[in-house]
Amino acid sequence: MTETTKAGTARAGLSIAIKRPHRADARRNFDALLAAARDAFAEHGAGASLEDIARHAGVGIGTLYRNFPTRQDLFDAVYFGEIEELCAAADEVAELPPWEALETWLQRFVGYAATKRAIVEELNRDSDMFRTAREAMYDAGRPLFDQAQQAGAIRPDTSFDDVLRMVSGLTAAGFVDEAQRTRVLKLALDGLRPR
């Protein structure tokens, strides 16, 4: 038995459903598989071993296939799960001061961009679901950008799309560690501040 959850927020209007099991133990396994797959794809790319993913999730390969009958099902669930988390993150930070809200959300966006980069060739980017997910992500993050810009925390000569492309480009670079990636992101975001 599964439960369908809508990714994102009402504001984002995402209509892509991720089916999660009802039972608590099955849901834990499902979520552990998604987390392990996200990490494996980020580290090893789309060809990451499904057996290794199951092992890192603490389940057997049969549990992986019960939840994700094909590798494509796993790719889709990881991608749409990332979108779901990005949309939820926008809601979580919405009450912070405008700059802090946007910066916090963009730090989460870095994780999404790294995961997407690892599996992008496996996604059907022409599908309606992919386009809907992208729109939901933009709809969730754009109000944070708009509020920061209206508050004077962001230069008026930039757009939300500019910022996402800049941050996506940064994620393509290799970093020594997470601390370095955080420093580089802060340096780049400093360039958005009005002079």
Q: What is the domain partition of the chain in residue ranges?
A: 2-190
Q: In which band, very low, low, confident or very high, does the pLDDT at 120 lie, cut at 50, 70 and 90?
A: confident
Rounded distance between C-alpha atoms, residue 69 and residue 103, angstroms: 37
Q: Which of 80-84, 121-125, 139-143 has the highest mean pLDDT?
A: 139-143
Residue 171 has which token pair? 């994620």
Burial letters 75-106, b for 16+ CB under 10 A, else e? bbbbbbbbbbbbbbbbeebbeeebbebbbbbb
In one letter, which amino acid is 127? S
Split at pLDDT 50, 70, 90, the class of 67 is very high
Q: What is the pLDDT of residues 10-33, one digit of tens each?
A: 344 444 456 777 788 888 999 999
pLDDT in tens, 143-178: 999 999 999 999 999 999 999 999 988 887 777 888
pLDDT, position 3: 44
Q: Among 1.10.510.10, 3.30.499.10, 1.10.3720.10, 1.10.357.10, what is the CATH number of 2-190?
A: 1.10.357.10
